[in-house]
Amino acid sequence: MKPDTTMVNAFDPTRTAGLAPEDRALIQRRGKALGPAYRLFYEEPLHLVRGEGVWLYDAQGNAWLDAYNNVASVGHSHPKVVEAISRQLATLNTHTRYLHEGVVSYAERLLATMPPEMGHMMFTCTGSEANDLALRIARSYTGRQGVIVTRLAYHGLTESVSEFSPSLGGFVQRGARVRLIDAPNALFVPPAEQGAKLAADLAKAIAEMRADGIEPAAFIVDTIFSSDGLYPDPAGFLKPAADLIRAEGGLFIADEVQPGFARTGDRFWGFQRHGITPDIVTMGKPMGNGFPVAGAAIRPEVVAEFGEKARYFNTFGGNPVASAAGMAVLDVIETEGLQQNAREIGAFLKQGLSEIVRGRDDIGDVRGAGLFLAMECVESQSTNKPNARLAGHIVNHLRRNGVLISATGPGANILKIRPPLVLQKPEATRFLEAISAAVAAA
């Protein structure tokens, strides 16, 4: 049976025996107050009260090494970000219909990290909203409706974006104008063929869409394919598909919510690893280190008519506090050299993981770029069949021993390792020791 991708690493609320009475009570109140759609992580949920750097703490003062959360990308509660937000909140917080230096400087600074073709920056509060806006702009610019995404993509939760976020599970219906293609696959497709295969699959999806009377408006991809199972390599494999959608009159939209803001170590943005200049770049998550800041960078010609005829206003998006948070994050990435740190510590982790799994038949692959790594658990290397049980074992063993990661992919068997970018050697070593023990105990 295929795993339910909406339940990967989810706590089973019927299994509260053995939990602390306070946590049991809170789980019950939570279920009652928030309703049935929410999930908690881990066999034993975690009750956190504080975070600092790469560490998270519970009420008893126990520490967990955070090797999962990419939102607090420059470290939990980073003092410079806290200070910037607090100062601006105590000074002025309005919206973007008044002149304010903050949003303009922040947009200029973000655009300076991109190819010169990306001329404008529009702000939202979430990645979902950024993708929703990108889609509206793409449809209005091309006068077309079709959208192509990868088979287990996640792009967000609005009505229109959930229609092309198949990782939400089969219950959330795929839109009639949406077509899915296979994500890259490190175990079944040789690296040198990855780019040609993706482009050929895209060409087929475009032809099938056209046979149904739908023209492609956009091909949208998370440029590191996080929910599909993490496929960073070989750098450059995305280019033939991006070139193809543009040659066919559609737009290439790079969803940078996951790989953006220096996580891959190589480059600041994931699309840059592939030598692409997108039409629209969407971003979010790490952008405000936990403060809701998101947005889209756009080629001017793509948004010209939309801007004139549709206007844009977002009550909270790009407000002075959001801009201060975003600016502080960029400052910290730069002053603390976090892109380089992601590259160096990421390489150290990848090397360490490769050594840990050497000789094990049930780990099919270790891959990653910078501080975004994956380890693929399989039944055996002869079949490479997903092994969700082993992945679940490792995730929960780590959790019991003070280290946080999670799992992803269509088989729920791919360990997702994605620490804050401030992770240093001693903590990385501690992580490797813990995962080594978890693998050995399997």
Compare residues 23 and 279 and give the one whose CB is closer to ligand PMP.
279
Q: Which of these segments, 125-133, 136-144, 385-393, 396-404, binds ligand PMP (CB under 6 A)? A: 125-133
| Rounded Cα gap, residues 199 and 220, in angstroms | 13
Q: Which of these segments, 151-159, 202-210, 309-317, 342-350, binds ligand PMP (CB under 6 A)? A: 151-159
SS3 category, 236 = coil
Give the CB-nearest residue to ligand PMP. 127
First to last CA, the chain: 22
Compare residues 180 and 432 and give the one whose CB is closer to ligand PMP.
180
Neighbouring C-beta atoms of residue 212, cutoff 10 Å: 10
| Rounded Cα gap, residues 240 and 200, in angstroms | 9
Tokens standing for residue 197: 């295969």
Compare residues 318 and 364 and give the one whose CB is closer to ligand PMP.
318
Q: Which of 3, 102, 127, 195 binds ligand PMP (CB under 6 A)?
A: 127
Q: Which of 64, 154, 225, 431 binds ligand PMP (CB under 6 A)?
A: 154
Q: Which of these segments, 111-119, 126-134, 323-331, 413-421, binds ligand PMP (CB under 6 A)? A: 126-134
Compare residues 70 and 339 and give the one whose CB is closer to ligand PMP.
70
Size, binding site for ligand PMP by CB under 6 A: 16
Within 8 A by CB and 6+ apart from 28, the residues are: none
Compare residues 259 and 352 and give the one whose CB is closer to ligand PMP.
259
Using CB under 6 A, which residues numbered 41 to 100 contact ligand PMP?
Answer: none
- Report whether 148 contacts 245 (CB < 8 A): yes
- Report whether 333 contacts 421 (CB < 8 A): yes
Q: Which of these segments, 21-29, 94-102, 154-162, 183-191, binds ligand PMP (CB under 6 A)? A: 154-162
Tokens 């806290």 appear where?
A: 82
| Rounded Cα gap, residues 24 and 29, in angstroms | 9
Within 8 A by CB and 6+ apart from 176, the residues are: none
The 4-43 site mask, x for binding ligand PMP (CB under 6 A), equals ----------------------------------------
SS3 category, 99 = coil
Neighbouring C-beta atoms of residue 333, cutoff 10 Å: 23
Q: Which of 128, 167, 264, 314 binds ligand PMP (CB under 6 A)?
A: 128
Q: How many residues does the chain have?
A: 442
Burial class (CB in 10 A: 0-12, 13-18, 19+), 396: middle
Q: Are strands 414-417 and 406-408 parallel, antiparallel or unpaired?
A: antiparallel
Least separation in angstroms between CB 175 and ligand PMP: 16
Within 8 A by CB and 6+ apart from 378, the residues are: 187, 362, 363, 364, 384, 385, 386, 387, 413
Compare residues 133 and 377 and give the one whose CB is closer to ligand PMP.
133
Partner residues linked to 41 by β-bridges: 10
Using CB under 6 A, which residues numbered 231 to 290 contact ligand PMP?
Answer: 255, 257-258, 284-285
Least separation in angstroms between CB 138 and ligand PMP: 15
Compare residues 78 and 155 and give the one whose CB is closer to ligand PMP.
155
- Report whether 9 contacts 407 (CB < 8 A): yes
Q: Which of 51, 156, 288, 320 binds ligand PMP (CB under 6 A)?
A: 156
- Report whether 29 contacts 1 (CB < 8 A): no
Compare residues 96 and 128 and give the one whose CB is closer to ligand PMP.
128
Q: Which of these segments, 140-148, 152-160, 399-407, 414-422, binds ligand PMP (CB under 6 A)? A: 152-160
Upstream peptide bond of 234 is cis (omega within 30 degrees of 0): yes
SS3 category, 184 = coil
Q: What is the DSSP string of 213-241?
A: T--EEEEEEETT-TTTT----STTTTHHH
Tokens standing for residue 200: 């050929």
Least separation in angstroms between CB 274 and ligand PMP: 15
Least separation in angstroms between CB 283 and ligand PMP: 9
Amino acid letter for position 116: P
**E strand or H helix that includes residue 364:** strand 363-369
Q: Which of 69, 73, 96, 126 binds ligand PMP (CB under 6 A)?
A: 126
Q: Which of these segments, 127-135, 206-214, 364-372, 414-422, binds ligand PMP (CB under 6 A)? A: 127-135
Compare residues 104 and 157 and give the one whose CB is closer to ligand PMP.
157
Compare residues 257 and 357 and give the one whose CB is closer to ligand PMP.
257
Compare residues 125 and 391 and give the one whose CB is closer to ligand PMP.
125
219 binds ligand PMP (CB under 6 A): no
Compare residues 161 and 422 and give the one whose CB is closer to ligand PMP.
161
Binding interface with ligand PMP (CB under 6 A): 126-128, 131, 154-157, 222, 226, 255, 257-258, 284-285, 294
